[in-house]
Amino acid sequence: AQKVTQAQTEISVVEKEDVTLDCVYETRDTTYYLFWYKQPPSGELVFLIRRNSFDEQNEISGRYSWNFQKSTSSFNFTITASQVVDSAVYFCALFSLNRDDKIIFGKGTRLHILP
Amino acid sequence: EAGVVQSPRYKIIEKKQPVAFWCNPISGHNTLYWYRQNLGQGPELLIRYENEEAVDDSQLPKDRFSAERLKGVDSTLKIQPAELGDSAVYLCASSLGLAGTYEQYFGPGTRLTVT
């Protein structure tokens, strides 16, 4: 079975602090993709990153970084020096190439950045 | 470039009434998705189109839900009759191709409240 678990339902940090959002996934497939999306109050899901299962290199994009570890089936997302504009719900998602073309989303983590 | 357009943004209806949602995907995107997002949850796929063809509608409650994508561009999702449990945000997304390979672009969603 495929599953994405985001154990942190809600996180609050003070502006400028670093924060890590956890994502643990389950799949039996060897070829898969992992995603992070941001959903601000406006409602649209905004694509942040896609990672395929063969590329375990960590990625950094500005204040955002992602740590992919196949050994622990985790794909964690860190925001460095958080800002109020980072307040949103963040979703981790999984897509397996050998399954139906269906992305499985986690339940999301609501992040509050306090000024 | 215009993003995915959805209308209406909000809809309030009484149970047993019909309702329809409209989606205009990004120009050139052959793949179109309808998702339902319940409060505090991640999006769940209802139906996926490749051009005019519905290639995955396994999660669509066919007794009351229907969808169409005439001419392979705009799409309409209908519920008839609506039930209280249908209250959710209905998201439309589009992509150039397979979700794992190509980025999905989401619209702002239609928030449905059934009273």
Closest CA to B5 of A44, A108, A72, A9: A44
Q: What is the pLDDT of residues A63-90, one digit of tens each?
A: 999 999 999 999 999 999 999 999 999 9
How far A41 CA sits from the closest chain B CA (Å)? 10
Q: What is the pLDDT of residues A28-68, one digit of tens each?
A: 888 899 999 999 988 889 999 999 999 888 888 999 999 99
- B31: phi then psi, degrees, rounded to nearest 5: -100, 130
Q: What is the pLDDT of residues B97-113, one digit of tens each?
A: 877 778 899 999 999 99
Please count the residue pairs, one from chain A and one from chain B, whose beta carbons lie less than 8 angstroms apart. 61
Amino acid at A28: R
Question: What would the two tokens of residue B5 be?
Answer: 């357009």
Hey, are the CB atoms on A101 and B3 less than 8 Å from each other?
Answer: no
Query: What CA–CA distances, in Å, run from A25 to A5, A30, A94, B69?
Result: 6, 13, 7, 33
Hey, are the CB atoms on B108 and A32 less than 8 Å from each other?
Answer: no
Question: What would the two tokens of residue B43 be?
Answer: 């999006």
Distance of CA A80 to the CA centre of its chain: 14
Chain A residues within 8 angstroms (CB to CB) of chain B: 4, 9, 32-33, 37, 42-47, 50, 52, 91, 93, 95-97, 100-103, 105-108
How many other CB atoms are found less than 10 A from the CB of residue B54?
A: 16
B18 vs B1, more confident: B18
Q: Compare CB distances from A103 to B40, B41, B99 and report the shortest one's residue.
A: B99
Hey, are the CB atoms on B48 and A101 less than 8 Å from each other?
Answer: yes
A-chain residues near B107 (CB < 8 A): 44
Closest CA to A5 of A88, A102, A86, A91: A91
Is residue A105 within 8 A of residue B42, CB to CB? The reply is yes
